[in-house]
Structure 1
Amino acid sequence: MKFGYREICLEHDTGSRHPESPDRLRAIQRTLADSANVEYVPATAIPRDAIWAVHDHDYLEDVRQFCANGGGNWDADTVAVEATWDAAVASATLAAWAADEALEGADGCETPFSLGRPPGHHAVEDDAMGFCFLNNAAIAAEHALRRDGVDRVAILDWDVHHGNGTQDIFYDRSDVYYASFHEEGLYPGTGDVGETGADAGRGRTLNVPFPSGSGDADYLAVHREVVAPEFENFEPDLIIVSAGFDAHENDPISRMLVSTAGYGVLAERVHELADRIDAGLAFVLEGGYGLETLSAGVREIHEVLNGEHADSIEPAPTDGGQNVLDSLVYQGFGSR
């Protein structure tokens, strides 16, 4: 794969006890060191128009000045230092680069994966939260939509936390379809199945709040029965995966049971879907706080898209996963 990466992202120093640390990117690079067809790309073309379109201008200036003054605690969980503004802009730039690469035909072993931090999917239009300052996936989607010939973008967010920021930014728009797999009741407490969009965006938000203990079979069943049909009907020009790895069975901050192999199968299914509907495919890093599980998940996706066949995982979903699937089908998702 082609991995978007900038050293400045390591300088966003959250402190020795913070789970979202620079060691996350270092662990990924160590794990990929012996893998074939790994290319790092230091994208630098800042998508200023998309950043300004996604985020409130006064908010952007507040964050920039907050960092220029030395940073501190924006809130209890979201920490900044002087370098955080540059790191956040670099992270957004890498996500936009991934969208461009995908739309220009990068596929297979050249599929783009943005390795930026801080992550982004909790950042709303005018506030930072949940470790996030700029919404990388939303900026990538907005950047893509500003290209000639791009009319629709779909985002699949499989981070264990609901991407409230991405949902809010596009909630009333018809040109972005946002689908989220997340653990029910976990931070930030949003993402109910009844949150389906508003106005022009009605029916363009799909929330899948899995109960704790859900795993591979649950994710794959909902993808097969609901997400894939919805995206096929939507006909996006680009699919962006907000790729968090904190639903892993050994991640320290969730109670989900997705395996490393499960991420590979899910990535393979999304890739097959993108091929089927002739859409570009780009990955944007979100969470994942066990260094071994995070890096193993990224490597698994790299190997699958580099030509390795994903493991076969076809057990029936759990009772909890089936209940979520039934509730989505009852609302009409997957059958339109």
Structure 2
Amino acid sequence: MQFGYSETCLAHDTGDRHPETADRLRAIRRALASRHGVSYVEADPVDESDVVAVHDPDYVAEINEFCEDGGGNWDPDTVASADTWDAALASAGLSQWAARAAVEGAEGRETPFALGRPPGHHAVEDDAMGFCFVNNAAVAARTLLDDPEAEVERAVIFDWDVHHGNGTQDIFYDQEDVLYASIHEKGLYPGTGEIDETGTGDSAGTTLNVPLAAGAGDEDYLLVVEELLRPVVEAYDPDLFIVSAGFDAHRHDPISRMRVSTEGYALLTDRVRSLTDDVGAALAFVLEGGYGLDTLSEGVATVHETFDGREPMEPDGDPEDKTVEIAEDVRDAHDIGG
């Protein structure tokens, strides 16, 4: 794979006890060092004009000034330093690069993956929250949708982070040209992402939320991708597919209760690749959460290995009964056949 990376993202300083630290990127780099076929690209930071395409200009000015003044606690969870705004622009620029590279034909072993921080999927239109300042995936999708030369009419953002990406949903909730789909742990921060949140007005049906019960594992996630995500995406027929790739649903992540294995991320990657091949959509990955350094780094590495030719091992078990019940509710909310 091609990995977007910038040293600027390391300068975002959250302090000694915060789970979202520069060590996350360092651990990923160490894990990838022993893998075949890894290459790195340092993209330009995003222009603020592209940020205000998805974020309120007053918020952008406020957070910029907050960082220029030295930063601090924006809220109890979201910490900024003097270098945070530059890191946020670099992170969004990497995501923008990944989406553009995919649309321009990067695929297979050249599939792009943006390794930026701070993450982005909790950043709503007019506020930072949940460790996030700029919604990286949203900026990337909107940039390509607004570029007539890119010929992207519809985009999907598929969020497999354990937390619901309330920011991404918020930004695109009333917009027909982006389908936001999320698998997340029900009741976990930020408490959004219910099944009946499906979009509004002409964009009804372009938000797909699957809030799974704590303890869901590989089989449960695969059921969602195969029986819910696939038919919805096939009907939507996107040109661009962005994965908001958090690795905090891993069974050993310190801040979630899900049971996805490292091999489970290989399986998810394989299913997403197959789906995007079938619908003819360009595919890019954007890093979100993941706070166990070993599980995060091995998760990213297994995504790379899947594109490098390693066949994932299928699980032996079956989905939990409660996941099957949730899937039925989602089918009813979205009128999915089967």
User: TM-score surpassing 0.5?
Assistant: yes
TM-score (normalised: structure 2): 0.98
Describe the SS at the equivalent of 1:331: helix
**C-alpha contact (below 8 Å) 1:157/1:181 kept by paired residues:** yes
Verify: 1:233 aligned to 2:235, yes or no: yes
Describe the SS at the equivalent of 1:120: coil
Alignment of 1:203-282 (within 5 A): 203-282=205-284
Residue 331 (structure 1) aligned to one of 310, 328, 333: 333
Alignment of 1:1-336 (within 5 A): 1-44=1-44, 46-148=46-148, 149-313=151-315, 315-335=317-337
Question: Which amino acid in 2 is paired with 1:94?
Answer: L
Tell me how far apart the structure 1 counterparts of residues 216 and 87 of structure 2 sit (CA, whole Å).
Answer: 34
Tell me how far apart the structure 2 counterparts of residues 291 and 43 of structure 1 sit (CA, whole Å).
Answer: 24
Q: How far does the alpha carbon of each residue in 1:107-166 deviate from its partner, in whole angstroms, 9 at most, with x for none?
A: 111100000000000000110000000000100110110222110000100000000000
Tell me how far apart the structure 2 counterparts of residues 289 and 193 of structure 1 sit (CA, whole Å).
Answer: 26
**Cα RMSD, aligned residues only:** 1.1
CA deviation after TM superposition for structure 1 residue 68, in Å: 0.4
Tell me how far apart the structure 2 counterparts of residues 110 and 309 of structure 1 sit (CA, whole Å).
Answer: 17
Q: How far does the alpha carbon of each residue in 1:187-223 deviate from its partner, in whole angstroms, 9 at most, with x for none?
A: 0000000100001211100000000000110110111
**C-alpha contact (below 8 Å) 1:230/1:333 kept by paired residues:** no
Structure 1, 69-78 or 43-52: larger mean CA deviation? 43-52
Tell me how far apart the structure 2 counterparts of residues 84 and 332 of structure 1 sit (CA, whole Å).
Answer: 39
**C-alpha contact (below 8 Å) 1:95/1:284 kept by paired residues:** yes
Describe the SS at the equivalent of 2:326: helix
Tell me how far apart the structure 1 counterparts of residues 56 and 316 of structure 2 sit (CA, whole Å).
Answer: 45
Tell me how far apart the structure 2 counterparts of residues 45 and 115 of structure 1 sit (CA, whole Å).
Answer: 13
CA deviation after TM superposition for structure 1 residue 321, in Å: 1.1
TM-score (normalised: structure 1): 0.98
* Deviating 4+ runs (over 4 angstroms): none
Describe the SS at the equivalent of 2:30: helix
Sort the Cα spacing of 1:282 and 1:314 in 2 relative to 1 into closer, same or farther, 3 A.
farther
CA deviation after TM superposition for structure 1 residue 335, in Å: 2.8
Describe the SS at the equivalent of 2:190: coil
**C-alpha contact (below 8 Å) 2:45/2:92 kept by paired residues:** no
Describe the SS at the equivalent of 2:52: helix
Describe the SS at the equivalent of 1:236: coil
Question: Which amino acid in 2 is paired with 1:272?
Answer: S
**C-alpha contact (below 8 Å) 1:192/1:209 kept by paired residues:** yes
Structure 1: gaps of 5 or more residues: none
Question: Which amino acid in 2 is paired with 1:119?
Answer: P
Describe the SS at the equivalent of 2:183: strand
Structure 2: gaps of 5 or more residues: none
Percent of aligned positions with the same letter in both sequences?
58
Tell me how far apart the structure 1 counterparts of residues 163 and 46 of structure 2 sit (CA, whole Å).
Answer: 27
**C-alpha contact (below 8 Å) 2:205/2:334 kept by paired residues:** no
Q: How far does the alpha carbon of each residue in 1:39-64 deviate from its partner, in whole angstroms, 9 at most, with x for none?
A: 11000152443311100111101011
Tell me how far apart the structure 2 counterparts of residues 4 and 204 of structure 1 sit (CA, whole Å).
Answer: 28
